[in-house]
Amino acid sequence: MLMPKRVKHRKQMRGRMKGKATAVNRVDFGEYGLMALEPTWITARQIEAARICLAKALRRAGKLWIRIFPDKPVTKKAAESRMGKGKGAPEFWVCVVKPGTVMFELGGIPKEEALRALWLAGNKMPCKTRIVAREGMNYEGF
């Protein structure tokens, strides 16, 4: 699963997911992409599930780009533990995704296969998604 090799700080604050995506908000590498429509945390497990789904749908044809990376640690304390005694240990890694972020891109395969693969991957995501095409391509929704 995806996670950073090393980090400067082991624990992070939760932060906010306010606003729209300003970076990674266009299809830059492939022809079709999967865009998030809601703010959410996407875990490394969810990214891996979508990657496996896309790899099976591609069947060694075309190319896949993963545009998100889980670099935020999420901590948990044991259930029924008393208050205090510090913050819990890091449990898993997430990627903060804002509306408009292109999470995955596909290229080099026919349009129908790309749309089907991205639709399947979108079902693995914890937020609403939209399939988008590179600017300049004539594309009518899925």
What CATH code would you report for 32-75+90-133? 3.90.1170.10
Q: Which H or E element spans position 35?
A: strand 32-36
Q: Are 62 and 55 in contact (CB under 8 A)?
A: no
* Sign of the four-CA dihedral 84, 87, 89, 90: positive
Q: Which of the pair, 25 or 137, is modelled with greater confidence?
A: 25
Indicate the pTM of the whole model: 0.91
Q: Alpha-carbon distance 128 to 8, whole Å?
A: 32
| Domain ranges for the chain | 32-75+90-133
Asked if the model's pLDDT at residue 142 lies above 80, the reply is no
Asked if the model's pLDDT at residue 38 lies above 80, the reply is yes
Q: Alpha-carbon distance 134 to 116, whole Å?
A: 17
pLDDT digits (tens, 9 = 90+) for 10-30: 999 999 999 999 999 999 999
Q: Are 88 and 73 in contact (CB under 8 A)?
A: no
